[in-house]
Structure 1
Amino acid sequence: MASPLRHLTLRHLPRTPASLLTTPQRRAARAVDIRHITTRPSPAILEKYRAKLDAKLKAEGVSSFDELKAAYKDKIAQLRKEAAVELPRSPAVEAGLVQPPPPVPTPVAEAARRVSGGSAVPGVKSLSSYVDVEKLRELPGPKEIEFIWRARFVGDGNSLCAAIPQEKYAKMEADAKKHPMFILPLPREGQGIEMQFLQWSFPSSTSSTMIFTSLEQYRLHGEFAVPHTTLTHHLELAQEKGVVLAQGSVNRDAGVSADEARLLLISLQKFYGAGEDEVGVRRRRLLEMFSRGDRDFKITDLVEEVERID
């Protein structure tokens, strides 16, 4: 099957405000591999990490990054040996998008261990890790459950949470199982549009997880790219109470704000679980075209659908 990231046509660039898209318009059609599209990191982010690196170099008494890397060579090798973990093959590998890297410790694996909380499924906390599930079952309905759920995370500015009607989630999940990977545009003030790669997984019968990674990070690191946003859906109350509880977080060090992550989640719902009307059919067709690597998939169409006010 063709890779969904291979044949994306940048034809007739979107009619977006200059503040959202800085690339000049082109009318000549051409097929490109979107994995080779580069994005520009924020100058503020670059400056932040440059300052941290300079401080580390000074503290270690070295003058360059190469010297610092050489000084820590033995320590890095030892840590890799102690913490090495082999991750399961992802759909990205199965689809031939990337080659599986060797089993060395990665930020994704480390993040999975940190958030697992001893759950049976590595990397995914159960609903009971956040709330007393039995007490939620005693509440009269979804509205009361949603109130308690949102109150649980009200003090965390980097947290994402939602209560989704079971019927709506079921439609999203059906589309996600058919199309577990997709891309979405994220407007960046003063930088145009930065493409984001998303991927669904279904680690257990009572949960599903989606992660967002910048397309540039995915292009560079494949399945081991560090996600900037993670969201898990908890299905423990879906059948009984008709509600699916979602919880996630944003890694602010990755240069994405919580508001930007919420914007991506809003955009996602335009495609996953889309209706049966003309707009919904058009959006689902974009999912299908991307999944099969259709050469007629155009980023312009994707951006126009995301910008459309429903």
Structure 2
Amino acid sequence: MSFLARRLRYKIASPFIQTRLASLVSYDIYLQRRPKQSYSTAPIDKYQEKLLKKAKEQGFDSVGEFLESAKADIDKKKKDFNRIDPLKELEDYEQRMKMSANNAGMTSARGPIDASQAKVPFKTLDSFLNVEKIKELSKQEVEFLWRAKWMSKDDALCAVVPVNIFDRMMTNAKSNPIFVLPLPRAAADGKEAPDQTQSVELHYIQWQFVGPNTVHCIMTSLAEFKLHNEYAKPHTTFQFHLEMAKEKKIVLMNGQVEPDINVSLQDAQLLLLNVQRFWGAMGEETPIAKQRLKLLRDFTRGSTDFNVDLLISLSQSMEN
């Protein structure tokens, strides 16, 4: 008998193997003899009456409609649960910026607005020009007067916006009144950050529809907004006046940068440029314009697609 044959004989003959084989045979016989079990393929039938009653109570004609509605409600709750707070998402980025270098140009925080202080009435176009008189002028004459009004002021900006462009921007502003925009800042030592990325400061942008013919776009640093919330002082306010929109097809804009802060007129102009870009004033059809609008809407919805690095990239791109 060969060694292999003797080995197999030994294995089968061993008490352990015999016991194991016997148990397997017994289990196989048990499986063959046990009664067959049947499972319901329609568990919903058992509760059909209860479901139909529940459906009727909620105004549905059938169980199918009720279940479809419940599914839609669950999907909505899932989306709400997965929403993010974009402002919190930005905190990590700000922390990285602070750790990468000392940023000399960052806007210093100021005290909050005094909540007990009486609110000053907002200014209308009549605060700057006599509306009844300029209605008699041509569109070109109104534009000339408006620009001349602000020409001598070093801390002011002005513009004349075609009404169709303004309307397009307002459509997006009404559904997305809040956003953040980056402002490039130089490091204190004039050197780039170790990872070669440019330091930026994030600014909180908010649209306010203060009157039937007056719209404000206010800007403050995100750090200051997080510190004081609704009582944060804006460093720049742009006012849009619609009194000439119907007759002259133009909207008059003026803006002012507060003194004694680390935001220059050029900084405000750059922020205003990106306000126009992200809110669609420069068009919505190009690939990059669609990206900007999507990011704006992602921020409003709290979508996980909102991305700070993409925000910075799109704000610095020269494409419209």
Letter in 2 for 1:233: F
Counterpart Cα distance in 2 of 1:241 and 1:151: 18
Partner in structure 1 of residue 132 of structure 2: 134
Take 1:296 and 1:305, find their aligned partners in 2: how far apart are those partners?
14
Aligned mates of 1:282, 1:167 — CA distance in 2: 22
Contact 2:147–2:159 (8 Å) recurs in 1: yes
Q: Could you tell me which of 295, 316, 319 is aligned with 1:307?
A: 316
Paired amino acid for 2:113? P
1:215-252 CA distance string (max 9 Å, x none): 11011111111110011100000011000001121013
2: CA distance between counterparts of 1:3 and 1:176?
Answer: 24
CA distance change for structure 1 residues 261 and 7 in 2, over 3 Å: closer, same or farther? Answer: closer
Which structure is richer in relative contact order (CA contacts within 8 A, separation 6 or more)? Answer: 1
Give the secondary structure class of the aligned counterpart of 2:226. helix
The one-letter code sitting in structure 1 at the alignment partner of 2:149 is: R
What do residues 8-46 of structure 1 show as CA deviations (whole Å, max 9, x unaligned)? 7xxxxxxxxxxxxxxxxxxxxxxx632463566865889
Question: Which whole-Å CA distance do the structure 1 matches of 2:224 and 2:128 have between them?
Answer: 30
Equivalent position SS for 1:254: coil
Measured against aligned partners, the alpha-carbon deviations of 1:62-86 in whole angstroms (never above 9, x if no partner) come to xxxxxxxxxxxxxxxxxxxxxxxxx
Instruction: Give identity over the alignment, percent.
Output: 35
| Cα RMSD (Å) | 2.9
Partner of 2:155: 158
Displacement of 1:188:
1.4
> Residue 287 of structure 2: which of 278, 281, 285 is its match?
278
Q: Which amino acid aligns with 1:288?
A: R
Q: Does 1:107 find its partner at 2:113?
A: yes
Map Cα deviations across residues 269-305 of structure 1 (whole Å, 9 max, x no partner).
1111242232222111011100011122111111111
Q: How does 1:226-305 map to 2 (within 5 A)?
A: 226-273=233-280, 274-305=283-314
Aligned to 1:24: none
Q: Which amino acid aligns with 2:310?
A: D
Change (3 A) 1:246 1:112: farther
Residue of structure 1 in register with 2:59 after alignment: none
CA distance in 2, matches of 1:112, 1:211: 19
Q: How many residues align?
A: 222
Partners of 1:251 and 1:4 lie apart in 2 by 35
Aligned to 2:177: 180
2:201 and 2:221 in contact (8 A); partners too: yes
Show the counterpart of 2:72. none
Shift of 1:111: 8.7
So what's the TM-score if we normalise by structure 2?
A: 0.63
Measure the CA separation in 2 of the matches of 1:162 and 1:111: 31
Cα deviation digits, residues 118-175 of structure 1 (max 9, x gap)? xxxx3x101011012123212222x332221111011111112111000000011110
Aligned to 2:25: none
Contact 1:108 1:225 in 2 (8 A): no
Q: Is the 8 A contact 1:3 1:291 kept in 2?
A: no
Structure 1 residues 111, 150: closer, same or farther in 2, change over 3 A? farther
- Aligned-partner Cα distance in 1 for 2:118–2:257: 14
- Give the direction of change, closer, same or farther, for the CA distance of 1:284–1:111 in structure 2 (3 Å limit): farther
List runs of 5+ in structure 2 lacking aligned partners: 1-79, 189-198
Does 1:168 find its partner at 2:224? no
Instruction: Return the TM-score normalized by structure 1.
Output: 0.64
Residues 282/155 of structure 1: CA separation in 2 closer, same or farther (3 Å cut): same
Output the CA distance in 2 between the equivalents of 1:179 and 1:6: 15
What is the correspondence of 1:68-83 to structure 2 with a 5 Å cutoff?
Answer: none
Question: Which amino acid letter does the alignment assign opposite residue 194 of structure 1?
Answer: E
Q: Which residue in the other structure is 1:6 paired with?
A: 85
**Deviation at residue 214 of structure 1 after TM alignment:** 0.4
Counterpart amino acid of 2:202? M
1:33 counterpart residue number: 89
Separation (CA, whole Å) in 1 of partners of 2:273 and 2:91: 24
Residues 198 and 210 of structure 1 are in contact (CA less than 8 Å); yes or no, is this contact kept in structure 2? yes
- CA, structure 1 residues 5+136, in 2 after alignment: closer, same or farther (shift >3 Å)? farther
Gaps of at least 5 residues in structure 1 are 9-31, 50-104, 117-121
Q: For residues 59-111 of structure 1, what are the alpha-carbon distances to aligned partners after superposition, in whole Å with 9 as ceiling and x for unaligned?
A: xxxxxxxxxxxxxxxxxxxxxxxxxxxxxxxxxxxxxxxxxxxxxx9526689
Question: Could you tell me which amino acid in structure 2 is paired with residue 135 of structure 1?
Answer: K
Indicate which of 208, 213, 238 corresponds to 2:220. 213
Against the structure 1 CA distance between its residues 287 and 43, is the aligned structure 2 distance closer, same or farther, given a 3 Å change threshold? Answer: closer
SS across alignment from 1:107: coil
